[in-house]
Amino acid sequence: MSGEIDSTVVLTNLLPDLHSSSFANLTFWTKGDLIQFLDEAAKRIAIPMGTLATWVKAAKLGNGAVTAPGSRTVPELEAEVARLRRELAETRMERDIVKKAAAYFAQESLPNTRS
């Protein structure tokens, strides 16, 4: 599903009032009435009112799926995983070099161990 929420399903199933004749046309609602309705509906389904308002706006504009803020597509996430794996491999290699160098210099600093 990759961070997408189908606002139409939420609005249709959880907010049956949204499709009733009294709610059919948002353009005739006053701002206060709409805010009150969204506040009550948001409380009823336990989500922030801003989220519900975004879904209503998307449904009104005809956008079926709304991408959650901060979410990324699968290819973007796969690219990030590949980049992080390369970075991890490089960091491990650097760590191993430092370990070997530290062991070499520690061995060299001990008395009677120089060749």
Domain ranges of the chain: 4-67, 72-115
How many Å apart are CA 84 and CA 46, to the nearest integer? Answer: 36
Write the pLDDT tens digit of every residue in 27-69. Answer: 566 777 777 888 888 888 888 888 887 877 777 776 555 566 6
Q: Is 10 a residue whose pLDDT tops 60?
A: no
Claim: this prediction has a pTM higher than 0.85: no
